[in-house]
Amino acid sequence: MDRLARLGATVTDAIAGIGRALAMLLGAIIGKPTPRKSWPLFVQQMYVVGVLSLIIIVVSGLFIGMVLGLQGYTILVDYGAEQSLGPMVALSLLRELGPVVTALLFAGRAGSALTAEIGLMKATEQLSSLEMMAVDPLRRVVAPRFWAGFVSMPLLALIFSAVGIYGGYLVGSGWLGVDEGAFWSVMQSAVDWRDDLMNGIIKSLVFAFVVTWIALYKGYRCEPTSAGISKATTSTVVTASLAILGLDFILTALMFGG
């Protein structure tokens, strides 16, 4: 009976948590737009969340593209199909690896930073002082970070895929001798703008929404102590990573499942 009660309490807590997270998000993004104040904050957060994530995204994209080129070539060459290396690299990146790996890297770099920053603002009473100064912390702190995450992640995913394709080209064409014209032209004819590129962007938008939301909520609700912030930061990375992988399967099934 106790076990049943505990299970019930866990489920109720989880539902209450989703409700609180939703209330936080709606409080942040719904309201009268104030572009004069919000735009500079958004631009600043785009730099912190997006631009500062560029290095890890570009370097990871390049290496993953190079590995794809190498692995793809060694498999395709056995069937005499090395001309298909271009579409293999491009489709892998645009459909899956671009959105998923970018989201995972984003959760680790920007998501954890967002949680820690907001958690520390809470612990040092900066959020409370905003409230006492009649400034809504949801609109001032949470909203610009949410929009910056939501906008920057799909852009980062596109950059990741573009750099990855170039990495595949460097290895496939520059090193392993796949014909350069074939690499690009077969890729061009095989990649569909709507089915591949748009679906990848949609995935990325969903991941951006979920990862940024989780990161902000974990920071906003964390226990305002050093242990609490540490726990919240870890929880952001774990929860966001699992959410990305779970959602990726659902989205892939919906988009390409039949």
Residues that bind another protein (CB under 8 A): 37, 124-126, 128-129, 131-136
Residue 161 CB, nearest distance to another protein (Å)? 33
Q: Which amino acid is at 40?
A: P
Three-state secondary structure readout of 28-83 = HHCCCCCHHHHHHHHHHHHHHHHHHHHHHHHHHHHHHHHHHHHHHHHHHHHHCCHH
C-beta closer to another protein: residue 120 or 205: 120
CB 217 within 8 A of CB 27: no
C-beta closer to another protein: residue 134 or 227: 134
Q: Cα–Cα distance between 59 and 160 in angstroms, integer?
A: 9
Residue 4 CB, nearest distance to another protein (Å)? 23
C-beta closer to another protein: residue 27 or 76: 27
Residue 144 CB, nearest distance to another protein (Å)? 13
Residue 126 CB, nearest distance to another protein (Å)? 5
145: closest CA among 103, 117, 168? 117
Q: Is the dihedral of CA 241, 107, 257, 182 positive or negative?
A: negative
Residue 247 CB, nearest distance to another protein (Å)? 32
C-beta closer to another protein: residue 148 or 159: 148
C-beta closer to another protein: residue 30 or 81: 30
